[in-house]
Amino acid sequence: MAELELVNLSKRYGKKVWGARGINLKVTDREFIVFLGPSGCGKTTTLRMIAGLEEVTEGRIFLDGKDITYLPPRFRDVSMVFQNYAVWPHMTVYDNIAFPLRMKKMPKNEIDRIVKEVSKLVNIYEYLGRYPRQLSGGQRQRVALARAIAVKPKIFLMDEPLSNLDAKLRVRMRTELKAIHHKTEATTIFVTHDQSEAMSMADRIVIMREGRIEQIGTPEEVYYNSDNVFVAGFIGTPPTNFMEVEVKTENGRMVLLHPHFKLELDDENAEPLKHYNKDKLILGVRPESMVILKNKDKAVFSERILVVEPQGSHQIIAIEMEGKIVKIVAPAFPRYKENELIHVSFDMKRLMFFDAETEKRLNPFKDLMEIQKV
């Protein structure tokens, strides 16, 4: 059993700068939580407070109901895997993994059993006699991971452990990390700024900005039910397209007016805006919710292609509207060319509406079952 609770957790540097502020979070047993956000958003600061490496300014940290806010790191029963591996260069792989077990004065035969067991789990058993300088970056990260697993902590803390690896190895390692998590059933908190990494690994994602939590949810929830413009823009590749539109009523129907198009909403799409009394809103359309049509008459607008980005399985079409780049995810075929005129429509059931001033979502899905029906 390993449950973590953060209550109004805050960290202040000096008198004015807050590294993290008012963090409230419950992490359940065996859960894989990802802290996601841009650099400087407070995710690593929060992780380091949990580990005991940063002093808490305000709030409390509870592990299985026990207040560990001011406990020294060695008494917290947590293991941390760092971005820069943090393996000892003068020790073999075997000794790196065995070191924390020796510090606990465990019997030699027990240490040997655990070292071999965890090295097999993370696929470095054949390298036990080597030194870190004889290993690749991915192998060194596995050593750090094996050392963390060996002490059987209540919680694993991982601070961007894959960021120093090349792109191909990162993809492979995140699959392996998720598999290891399932095998060990360990409660894990993982920090990253890579949203695709977060989406592929997390049970729940904690999206942070400027020291505060913006939204907590499953990958599906934060993607389809983004709480605000920041979350909708941060989650997804390419990011959501945002367009400021005027809200009008014509012939009893709600209409969104943009310099490049006029979009009439049906009753279902207009329902969330029934009590919206402002004359402008932000329309959010994900690139995969924009469709290129052959028939101009059924299109929302027509524009010339600025850039085509081939991706193999699909292509990304970039156009320019009101000085902003708008991206469309299109099938791999037919191939499109720069300056080609295309006719674009929207998946009307996937449109997102945001308040123009607060940037809060106006029409979240009430249930993920709604998404599956679309």
* Residue after which a domain boundary falls, among 233, 267, 301: 233
Note whether 9 and 61 are within 8 A (CB).
yes
Q: Choose among 241, 239, 244, 270: nearest CA to 257.
A: 244
Same domain (yes/no): 253, 337: yes
pLDDT digits (tens, 9 = 90+) for 260-315: 999 999 888 898 888 898 999 999 999 999 999 998 999 999 999 999 999 999 99
Provide the angle, in degrees to the nearest 10, between the axes of the packed helices 167-184 and 108-121.
130
What DSSP designation does 348 have? G
Whole-angstrom CA distances from 137 to 166, 233, 246, 344 are: 9, 32, 52, 45
Average pLDDT on 156-175 reads 88
Same domain (yes/no): 202, 293: no
Task: Identify the helix (H) or strand (E) that includes residue 222.
Answer: helix 219-224
In the chain, how many domains are there?
2
Same domain (yes/no): 326, 214: no
Note whether 240 and 328 are within 8 A (CB).
no
- pLDDT tier, 137 (very low <50, low <70, confident <90, very high otherwise): confident
- pLDDT tier, 86 (very low <50, low <70, confident <90, very high otherwise): confident
Same domain (yes/no): 329, 227: no
Same domain (yes/no): 363, 303: yes
What is the domain-level CATH number for residue 304?
2.40.50.140
Same domain (yes/no): 193, 213: yes
* Residue after which a domain boundary falls, among 233, 263, 294: 233
Same domain (yes/no): 171, 298: no
| Cis peptide upstream of residue 132 (ω within 30 degrees of 0) | no
Average pLDDT over the chain, rounded to an integer? 93
* pLDDT over threshold 70, residue 1: no
pLDDT digits (tens, 9 = 90+) for 189-199: 999 999 999 99
Burial (CB count within 10 angstroms: exposed 0-12, middle 13-18, buried 19+), residue 216: middle
pLDDT digits (tens, 9 = 90+) for 197-246: 999 999 999 999 999 999 999 999 999 999 999 999 999 999 999 999 99
User: Structural domain of residue 79, as residue ranges?
Assistant: 4-233
Q: What is the DSSP string of 283-341?
A: EEE-GGGEEEES-GGG-SEEEE--EEEE-SSEEEEEEEETTEEEEEEEES-S---TT-E
* pLDDT over threshold 90, residue 345: yes
What is the domain-level CATH number for residue 198?
3.40.50.300
3 state DSSP class of 112: helix
Same domain (yes/no): 160, 285: no
Same domain (yes/no): 194, 323: no
Same domain (yes/no): 161, 255: no
Q: Choose among 60, 55, 49: nearest CA to 26.
A: 60
Same domain (yes/no): 144, 250: no
Percent share of the chain, pLDDT over 90: 78
Same domain (yes/no): 217, 257: no
* Residue after which a domain boundary falls, among 176, 202, 233: 233
